[in-house]
């Protein structure tokens, strides 16, 4: 696929990227959202608190990027979740379930050794922008 068909998506309501990548890239009806970490876009700093508090900011950031592309979280088809400690799985799931509703997106969750800026949680997503919202 030609890079000309790729469209970079940027939201001012999500943190600026910290490397050579886009917040998201749209290809046709698909939106590939880069992993979001719990950085407050207003300050550029990692939010304080436990994994649940960090997951809340991560999902706000994710939602901001998806919205900038003209979509909504109801159109997320797949997400990937990265946790520094799988002991946080249940707490992060509770926050996650307040943003996503049945039928839930397909998802994988993996424990990682570390995340950028010392984050405890990172979430990425694939969105089908022309799909009808899940109800």
Q: Are the C-beta atoms of 15 and 37 separated by less than 8 Å?
A: yes
Using the CB atoms, write b or e for 36-56: b if 16+ within 10 Å.
Answer: bbbbebeeeebbeeebbbbbb
pLDDT tier, 35 (very low <50, low <70, confident <90, very high otherwise): very high
Residue 2 above 60 pLDDT?
no
Residue 135 above 70 pLDDT?
no
Domain boundaries, given as residue ranges, for the chain: 3-128
pLDDT of residue 3: 62
pLDDT of residue 133: 52
CATH classification for the domain delimited by 3-128, as one of 3.30.1330.40, 1.10.760.10, 3.90.1150.10, 3.40.50.2300: 3.30.1330.40
Residue pLDDT, tens place only, 56-92:
999 999 999 999 999 999 999 999 999 999 999 999 9
């Amino acid at each position: 696929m030609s890079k000309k068909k790729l469209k970079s998506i940027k939201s001012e309501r999500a943190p600026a990227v910290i490397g050579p990548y886009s917040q998201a890239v749209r290809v046709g009806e698909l939106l590939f959202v880069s992993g979001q970490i719990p950085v407050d876009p207003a300050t550029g700093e990692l939010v304080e608190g436990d994994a649940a508090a960090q997951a809340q900011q991560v999902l706000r950031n994710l939602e901001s990027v998806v919205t900038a592309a003209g979509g909504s979280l109801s159109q997320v088809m797949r997400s990937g979740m990265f946790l520094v400690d799988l002991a946080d799985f249940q707490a992060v799931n509770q926050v996650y379930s307040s943003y996503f509703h049945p039928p839930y997106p397909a998802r994988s969750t993996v424990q990682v050794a570390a995340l950028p800026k010392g984050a405890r949680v990172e979430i990425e997503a694939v969105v089908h922008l022309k799909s009808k919202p899940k109800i």
